[in-house]
Structures are given as C-alpha cells and as structure tokens.
Structure 1
Amino acid sequence: MHKTAKYLYIIGGCALAAEREPIRQIERIHVEKAGDSVNVISENCGQLTIARRSPACFLAGNQRILVAGGCSAPNEHTDSMEMLEISEIGEIRSIFLDEKLEIGASCSGFDWDTHSSEKPIFGGFEAHSCLDDVQVLNNSGTMWKCRKLAKKSPKIKNSTILEVKNGEFLMFGGWEDEQRTSKAIRRITFNEDFTDYSCDFAGFLSYPVEGHTCIQIDSSVFLIGGFDGCFVLDSIIKYDLKTGKSEVLDTKLRGKRENHVACVLGDTWLVVAGGWNSRQALDDVEVFEIRKIGGKIELAPCQVAGKLNFARNRPSAVVI
C-alpha cells in the first residue's frame, strides 16, 4: 500500500487464530498531531454483507471499494464479491454482487491501488492448499468479470504485491510451495490485455518473510513486520527500487506483529495497525513520522494515543 490520503479503511479480519470469529465491521482511522505525540481516531463506518478474513480489496473509483473473496469461517473460503460505497460523511453501504471469483481464496497478493482497469489477484489459500493461480478482475463493461490465467508462479500465500508500472508488479516473500517462507522477489509482467504474463526472479530480501506489509515511499519500499518461518517479527526491511538492494533498518516496530495493515496518511505518517503477535489479535496502532533528510528517508516512532475499535487478525485495508 503506497497511496497518501487522509483515511485508512480497515476491512474484516478475524478475532482469533485459525480463521475463527471473522469480522464484518469496517472502521476508518486518521491521525492528528497533538503536541509531541499523535492521536489515532477510529470510527465505525459500516459492515460487510458477510464476514471476511483477508479478502482482496481494490479501489474502484467514485468512493467505492471492491471486496473479493476471503474466508468466512475456518476452511470456508468464499468466491463472492461486494462493493462498498462511501458517502460524503464516510458511512459505508455494501452491495452484494452477482459476479464471483473463479476461485474463492484468502491471503492472496494484490495491490489495492493498481492504476489499471485490470485487477490481478496472486495466489492465496483455498480451504486446504496454497494456490499457484492468477485471477484477473475487470470492469470494462457493466459488470465485473473474472478470468483465471495459466499457472506460471509458485504456489504462494501471504506475499505482498506492488505495482511498479502499468502491467508490471513485484511480489515480495510469502509462504512458497507449501514448504518454506520465501525471501524471493519476483517480477510479474502482463501483456497489454492481461491475458498472459511472465514471472521472473528479481532478487532476494534480507530474510524470508510472510504476513508482512509493503509501503512505497518515493523509490524505497518498506517491508514491515511479518513472520520468518519461526518467529513473528518487529523488524523493517528497506528495499531500493532503483538498485534492487535491501537492508534491515535499525528502526523497529514497538511490538512484533504479522497479518497487519499499513499505509501512508497525509504524506507524513506511516501507520501500522492491527495484526497478530503469535498470541492474540491486536487493536493497537503504531505511527512513524516520515522524515526526508538529505535525500534519505527516516522513520521516527511516535507516541500514540488511541487504538482500533476491534482487534483484527489479517484484515485488509484501503486508503482514500
């Protein structure tokens, strides 16, 4: 997630481990500076038609968010979709759509802010196995259509995806081939009409990671928290889009977390919210002030007052 705006809309998730107690509620948060600290203000703004843990979400224009897939109970993955319409005062109305995914999945990779009319969904988890499928959503007509492309990527879930230019995406980490947490970076390039793609190796991260978030600030990508195959992490990797090099920052999260959400708000604040710390779902929010000094980006941890209204493990999120 890498767009700057005022509000982070946090969608679904679950209250417990193992996909238990999925959440329908949607809340939005924003950040206000208060002296030497920041306040996080959270507002309940609507509900999903059905509870969803880790659905794919995309901006759909005109204050709308498309929500697709996710799991609605342990080992129950839905192929359904719904459209969230946001009013001028921030209230959400959900419209359940007739259209469906080719495969109902959760924990897929996607970039919610992709600028193309084609919205690719990479891999994920379906009931008992990881997926090596790429599904593409398109709304060039009056309805959303989903098509499944040829299998060219590994079986993978819990990766993060960043669109670097139209039709070209980077995939960072994930749980790969149901065997290992990956530190691979892959470059996925689609043809013009998104009917075919290539998947090429593009380098390694500093360590294996899944269940993390990725945030682009200028030419840097920050990969935050996650799980390395053994432990939940509090570390942050900075990946340079120009050089392809990655480094582990000295700056860390206040607490270890995976399955969280993150964004940039107001060009100033890097916000990290919710997730799982290996014991429980989290309702706390961490905020870093983004400082650009001498061409370098520094993340300065802030004192934070305020938290989410719901503890959420593996929610999805969109910035508007």
Structure 2
Amino acid sequence: MADQTTPQDPTTQQPDPDSHGGEQIAHPGLTDDMREEPDHGEESYQGSGRLEGRRALITGGDSGIGRAVAIAFAREGADVAISYLPEEEEDARETLAWVEKAGRRGLALPGDIRDEELARSLAGRVVDELGGLDVLVNNAAYQMGQPGGLADITTEQLDRVLKTNVYAMFWITQGALPHLSSGASIINTSSIQAFEPSPGLLDYASTKAAILNFSMGLAQQLAEDGIRVNAVCPGPIWTPLIPATLDVEKVDDFGAETPMGRAGQPAELAPAYVFLASQESSYITGDRILVTGGKS
C-alpha cells in the first residue's frame, strides 16, 4: 500500500483479483502459505498517537484484518493483546513482532474461543497483563463455502460457525464488560454478507447479520455508561480465510464484482477500526462503517 499522504487511484493501488490465480491453501490458512500475501500496512501505516496509552484485545488477531488492526493500533500508541487458534501460532508471533516494533506491549492469547470458559477469561487476562482494557475488537470468524447451499450445511459446520462467530462474541463481551469504563469502545466485525448474503455462505452470512444486530442493540444498552459499540462491515478482503475456504473459481474472481473491480487489502480496513476506537468518533455508537469497494 502506498504512502497514506499520496493521492492514489483506488482501482489500481492494489493488485487485481485475477492475480490470485485460483489459489487454495489448507484451513485455517497461514499467511506464509499464500502465493500473494496480503498488505497489512506493515510498510505504510503511519500512526499519530490517537490511541496513546490504551489497551486493546483483538480476537482473530493473528492474520488478515486482525493483523492490520493490531499493527495500526500499536502505531497509534496502544498495547495490543491478540487471541487466535493454537495452529495459527506462526502468524500470531509475526503480528506481535510488529506490535513490539512499534514500541508497544503485545500479549499472545492462544486458544479456541468456542470454549466458553476460555472466551470469558480473555478480558481478565488482558487486564492482568496490560493493566486494563479500553478497546475490544470481536473479529474472529469461521466460514466454509458450500456450493450446494443449505442442503450441504451440516449440523457440525453450523455449530462451529455459530459458536465461533456469535456465541464467542457474546461470551467475550460479557467477560469484558466488568473491565470497561466510560470512554471504552467495542468494535465488532460484521460483513457485506449481512446485507447481501451469498448462497454458498448462508450460515456465515446469517451470523454476520446477527453481529450487526448485536452491535446496534448493545450500543443502546451501554450508551448511558459512556461505552460505544459499532461494527465494521468489510466487503471482499484478501486474507488467508479466502483461499482456505472458497472454491478455486471463487478465489480466482474474488472481488471482481465490486465497482472498484478488485478485492480489498487488510490495510484498507485498519483506519476504520482506529477511527471507531478513538475519541474522533465520540458521537458515533450503534452504527457501522462499510468498507466494500463500492459494493452495497
């Protein structure tokens, strides 16, 4: 991604979707396994102290959108804890290395958030290690494309999608609430799928709609406490989840249907999370930011 201060043509500043070449990798997908690695803002994101001294927890923080947000938060002055699956340790270590290069503290929290006890414990562990919690980003998600649609969605898959995307969000947020005070921010990753569900991602799309609804409802509950709740709704973003869960044909054309004609990069999502975590968005709650390349 180019220098943030330099005007760019957004249709060409990142690679076209066809450069992905129908790539597929094993789930859950590691960044190093991708032939074309995403841009997380490693060389481009420039902080300006907007989150100085804050403590953040990002689920699914090892790669993709989570890594980009972790890098941006750290460069804005926040200490960052990331939760991730144990099999994603390699990516997690890379993310934490970028956090530490920014001069901030990083905290690794491996484990499967489908485990209720573990999910509820995450916020307390952040408080114990980093001294508090100011920003919670519920970002972790599971999807697995099913070309046959509803008939091909097994109970096992439905259970995994719901527990990872919805149950864990409830548990983690419930565990975080006692540690959050006025000025805190909760940011949940929803999706364009909440508005335009793909037939082959029906279970995943349903959870993303639930996440948006959860964000809007919780915002009303917590507004009087000075805690803001918002959502980010990404469009097609190039992360390890895509070649690990979609058919070759879908990967090959990923993002081509957007008005900009390409998939987005994680680095292009991070500023939305920074904005919602910062005091610049102090009068915004119960809302969402779409980052979709014009697809709406």
Q: TM-score range by the shorter chain?
A: 0.3 to 0.5
More strand by share: 1
TM-score normalized by the length of structure 1:
0.32
